[in-house]
Amino acid sequence: MSRDAAIGLFSGGLDSILACRMIQAQGITVLALKFVTPFFDDHLLARREEYCAEILRKYGITVQVVDCGLEYMELLKNPKYGFGKNFNPCVDCKIFMLTRARKMMADAGAAFLITGEVLGQRPMSQRRDTLRVIERESGCEDILLRPLCAKRLPETKPEREGVVDRERLLDFTGRGRRRQMELAEEFGIREYPAPAGGCILTDPNLGGRIDRYYRDRFASGNGRLRENDIRLLLLGRQFHLPGGHWFILGRNQQENDRIQTLADEEDWVLTMTERPGPTGLARRPPLSLDQPAGDELCRLAAGLVVRFGGKKEGRGSRAEVRVRQAGNASKMIVEPLEDSRFLDWRF
Ligand code: SF4
């Protein structure tokens, strides 16, 4: 383990950039970790190398993308410190990430950890007592340094041992951004993301959908959590068909394509054959297409596709819908479903 190496939690926001740069400026090597789950920064999984190169070029920070989707999904079942205003378990989330980061220290040859947290910036997760809880529960007491507000917190091991010069650390507090922006200017950082955003667990609508996924397990099949389910849950229009079956409709071409990509073998995938329209997907439908009850449910789903599909001469009218499941496909002609039938099915 090197005394002169640290691991940083890296959200990609200005505070985490500054924390890494401040420690680098003291001659310490920093490996920044970017945690990715279906709830935040999921898209980076498809462009890890490009992202890491971009961060290195823009900020001079070496970053590693860490995919922790399923483990994180488990955490959401019952976070010890509960949820924030929406479905965001911020305290447990930080404990989770720091615990993971601490376990990576030996491999990275790091002697301590850093974050861009600022005392008092967030009402719940950045209060003084909560910062202490996060340190304790993650096993990071004394080795977790928060450079932006370190002077307001007790000295940590790297400071005591002289690895980090405490005099060059800062005393930021609260929600203001002015001092961060001045510091960014000093480091020559002019391009950085706007604060907030990024974590859909804080979004009232999407957070609500995820909450319901966890509560009802309507979609999780035998209680099994799946990243693919969450990706699907964040798209389009969502319905519970009679019997609680989960159905999704794309709202534009991009969502239609995404739905096709996320479809499993067992799902029903519905498309209109003669007019443009949304792609529909029934997740884990109860029956195969050739069974009568499945047919009835399938007709309801097809009716929704036609309802939100392209009109003929300005009016909704019956249309042919193709339904695919695994290697099989069938077609049916259906009327658009009346709005009164499905208003209660939306969520
Ligand atoms: S906003 Fe989201 S990513 Fe950030 S600490 Fe809270 S739960 Fe975690």
At 10-39, the pLDDT tens digits run 999 999 999 999 999 999 999 999 999 999
Q: Which residue owns the Cα nearest ligand 1 atom 6?
A: 90
Helix axis angle for 14-24 and 178-186, nearest 10°, is 40
State how far the Cα of 193 lies from the Cα of 9, in Å rounded to an integer. 16
Task: Give tens-digit pLDDT for 333-342.
Answer: 999 999 999 9
- For the Cβ of 118 lying below 6 angstroms from any atom of ligand 1, the answer is no
- For the Cβ of 111 lying below 6 angstroms from any atom of ligand 1, the answer is no
Complete DSSP assignment for 44-72 = GGGGHHHHHHHHHHHH--EEEEEE-HHHH
What pLDDT does 290 receive?
A: 67
Distance (Å) from CA 273 to ligand 1 centroid: 42
State how far the Cα of 150 lies from the Cα of 342, in Å rounded to an integer. 55
What pLDDT does 293 receive?
A: 61
CA distances 26 to 5, 29, 105, Å, are: 11, 9, 19
Distance (Å) from CA 14 to ligand 1 centroid: 15
Distance (Å) from CA 63 to ligand 1 centroid: 19
Distance (Å) from CA 312 to ligand 1 centroid: 46
Q: Which residue owns the Cα nearest ligand 1 atom 2?
A: 199
Max distance between CA atoms of the chain, in angstroms, equals 78
CA angle 102, 75, 48 (to 5 degrees): 60
- For the Cβ of 130 lying below 6 angstroms from any atom of ligand 1, the answer is no
- For the Cβ of 199 lying below 6 angstroms from any atom of ligand 1, the answer is yes
Q: Which residue owns the Cα nearest ligand 1 atom 4?
A: 90
Tokens of 157: 């091991």
Distance (Å) from CA 91 to ligand 1 centroid: 8
Task: Determine the atom of ligand 1 nearest the C-alpha atom of 125.
Answer: 5
Task: Give the pairing of strands 280-283 and 245-249.
Answer: antiparallel
Tokens of 116: 């861009």
Residues of the chain with pLDDT under 70: 1-2, 196-197, 217-222, 289-294
Tokens of 333: 């002609």
What pLDDT does 283 receive?
A: 93
Answer whether 129's CB lies under 8 Å from 5's CB: no
State how far the Cα of 82 lies from the Cα of 181, in Å rounded to an integer. 32
Answer whether 233's CB lies under 8 Å from 212's CB: no
Answer whether 70's CB lies under 8 Å from 229's CB: no
State how far the Cα of 267 lies from the Cα of 284, in Å rounded to an integer. 5
State how far the Cα of 99 lies from the Cα of 290, in Å rounded to an integer. 50
Distance (Å) from CA 95 to ligand 1 centroid: 11
Helix axis angle for 128-137 and 90-103, nearest 10°, is 40
What pLDDT does 278 receive?
A: 98
What pLDDT does 231 receive?
A: 95
Answer whether 31's CB lies under 8 Å from 108's CB: yes
What pLDDT does 3 receive?
A: 73
- For the Cβ of 94 lying below 6 angstroms from any atom of ligand 1, the answer is yes
What pLDDT does 267 receive?
A: 94
Task: Determine the atom of ligand 1 nearest the C-alpha atom of 88.
Answer: 7
Tokens of 66: 């860490």
What pLDDT does 292 receive?
A: 59
Q: How many CA atoms lie within 13 A of 27 on its CB side?
A: 7
What pLDDT does 310 receive?
A: 86
* pTM confidence score: 0.90
Answer whether 55's CB lies under 8 Å from 48's CB: no
State how far the Cα of 261 lies from the Cα of 210, in Å rounded to an integer. 20
Mark residue 326 as left, alpha or beta (left: phi above 0; alpha: psi -120 to 50; beta: remaining): left
Question: For a substitution probing ligand 1, which of 75, 86, 88 has the most ligand atoms within 8 Å of its CB?
Answer: 88
Q: Order of strands, edge to edge, in the sheet holding 319-325?
A: 237-241, 245-249, 280-283, 268-272, 319-325, 328-334
